[in-house]
Structure 1
C-alpha cells in the first residue's frame, strides 16, 4: 500500500476551499506585481491604477529605454566601436510584441 492510499481524500468543501485560497493567492501575487510596477515606472505615483494603464506606462518606459539603447549603439558605431551583434538583435520584434500586449491589455481593461 502506498502513502497516497493512506491519506484521507479531501471532501468537496475542502477542495473548494483549497481552490479558493489558491486563486486568492494568485490574484494577490498579480496585484502585488502591478503595485511594484506602479512604484518603479516613472509617472505612476499617485495615479488611479488599472492594469491596462500600468502596462501601457511600463511598455512606454521600455520602449523609451530600447530607443535610447539603439541610439547609444548607433553612437558607438559612429565612433568606430564594435558592438556585439547580440545587443542589436530582437529590438523590432520585441517592440512589436510589447505593443500587441499593451493593446490587448487596454482592450480587456475597458
Structure 2
C-alpha cells in the first residue's frame, strides 16, 4: 500500500515539471476549429454514404438527394431482396436441393 502514493507522486511530478514531451493545450479557437472540422468530416462521410446508396439501389439514380427517400427506398429494396432469397431457398428445397444453414439466415 505504501507504493501507491509514491506512484501517484511520481506521475504528478512528471506532469508538473514542464516535461517537454507534453503537448501544449489547445486554445478555445483551436478547439472550436477542430470541432468544426470534425463535424464537416462526419457530414461528408454521411453524404458519401447516401451517394453510394443511390448508386446501389435501383430506382434512386438521378433523383434529388432526399435522405428520407433514399432510406425508405433502400429499406424497401432490401426487404424485396430478402423475400426473393426466401423464395429461392424454398424453390431449391422443393426441387430436392439442400441449402446450408448458414445460407438460410436472413
Q: Which runs of 5+ in 2 are unaligned?
A: 1-13
The residue that corresponds to 1:37 in the other structure is 53
Q: How high is the TM-score relative to the length of structure 1?
A: 0.73
Q: Shift in Å at residue 4 of structure 1?
A: 8.1
**1:83 is the counterpart of 2:103:** no
Q: Which runs of 5+ in 1 are unaligned?
A: 92-110
Q: How high is the TM-score relative to the length of structure 2?
A: 0.76
Report how many aligned residue pairs link the two structures: 90
Moved over 4 A (4+): 2-5
Specify the structure having the higher radius of gyration (Cα).
2
Q: Secondary structure at the match of 2:34?
A: helix
- C-alpha RMSD over aligned residues: 1.8
The residue that corresponds to 2:44 in the other structure is 28
